[in-house]
Structures are given as C-alpha cells and as structure tokens.
Structure 1
C-alpha cells in the first residue's frame, strides 16, 4: 500500500504539474513497502517513473510512462 502511495506521489509530481505537451522529466521517490505479497517485512523501495516516447491518442491528456521499482538500502527512506 505504501508503494502505491509513493507511486501516486511520483506520478502527480511529474505529470499533473506539467503543462500539456511539455517534456516530462524522470521522477523518483523512496518509500517503505512490503518485501512481497506474503511477507510482513518492510523494505525501502525506490520507485522511478520515466516518460516513454510512445504515441497516445490526441484526446488523451496522459503521458506514457515506464515505472521501475527496486529495493534499496534503508537509509534512503529515513
């Protein structure tokens, strides 16, 4: 659940604050998340959002992005 909140923050930061047709820069956020579905251990996760050069319908006000997450050292989430 925390990683979804982190993802939402990253997307809001990079997509909503940008004017239409503007260049979207890479965004990253660090958040606490669970190590797995059946695992109660929390880990620090880095979530990166990268814009993709992919066509979307002109009527859409969305930008194509690639989301990548990796587990990093805990000090990033402190």
Structure 2
C-alpha cells in the first residue's frame, strides 16, 4: 500500500505501526466476529427488511435474532452440532 503524505507525515506510518502490535490482531478478530453476527442477523434473521413497525417491536425482533445467533454459535463452539458456515 502506498503512503500519502499529509502534513509532512506519511499516512501509512500508523498502519505499519499498528499492524505489528498484538492489539491489532485482537481488533481484527473482534471486528470479524461482530460483522459475522450482523451479517447473519441481516440475512437469516430477516433484519434487512423488518416485517414489524415500532421501536419496541423492532428492539424485541433484534434481541430475539441475536439470541438465536448466539445459541447457534455456542452450539458450534461446544460441539453439539455443526452450524452452517454463514
């Protein structure tokens, strides 16, 4: 990746500095886990186009979907079943 000079400091300095730290790897895995959950809820949990209206029902719908995702994820971690790769 090329560096862009902004205010006489190369922009890629932080990227090179952060990529070597162990926290950067943790942040990447945490972000992947969060994005995977939201992707699952949007596609399988039907959160992309909600069939309900109102803040309370939308909140309940989202909570229900994330609870279902967590049950599937925990079941895969515990070895109870092999969850789908979605």
Q: Structure 1 length as normaliser, TM-score?
A: 0.33
Which entry has the higher C-alpha Rg, 1 or 2?
2
Higher strand share: 1
Q: Which has the higher contact order (CA 8 A, sep 6+)?
A: 1
What is the TM-score when the length of structure 2 is the normalising length?
0.31
